Amino acid sequence: MPPTNQQSSPKPASNLDLFTIPPSFLLQIGTASILLLLISGKTTARALEAIGEASEELFRGDRLPNLDFPDEHEINQDEKIYTK
């Protein structure tokens, strides 16, 4: 029968430094990164919205130049020249 006062063998030291970092520090880093991600997402959405509105203003009809279209009479005379 084995003795009852057996000592447990010492646990081998792990080389994982992740577990030596306090959980509160990990929580702070995670929170800061999530907040930064949310803020940058909102900023990106606003910037894309502003670009969209600017492109609408660019292609608005009242800002485009007027084009000179030929009259019907001129078109018919040009067709006669090309058909001869």
Label residue 66 by pLDDT band (50, 70, 90): confident
| Whether pLDDT at 74 is above 70 | no
Gap between the Cα atoms of 63 and 57, Å rounded: 8
**What are the structure tokens assigned to 19, written together?**
């577990």
| Whether pLDDT at 60 is above 70 | yes
State percent of the chain over pLDDT 90. 35
pLDDT digit string, tens, across residues 28-45: 999 999 999 999 999 999
Average confidence (pLDDT) over 49-55: 92
Estimate to the nearest angstrom the gap between the alpha carbon of 40 and the chain centroid. 8
| Whether pLDDT at 20 is above 60 | yes
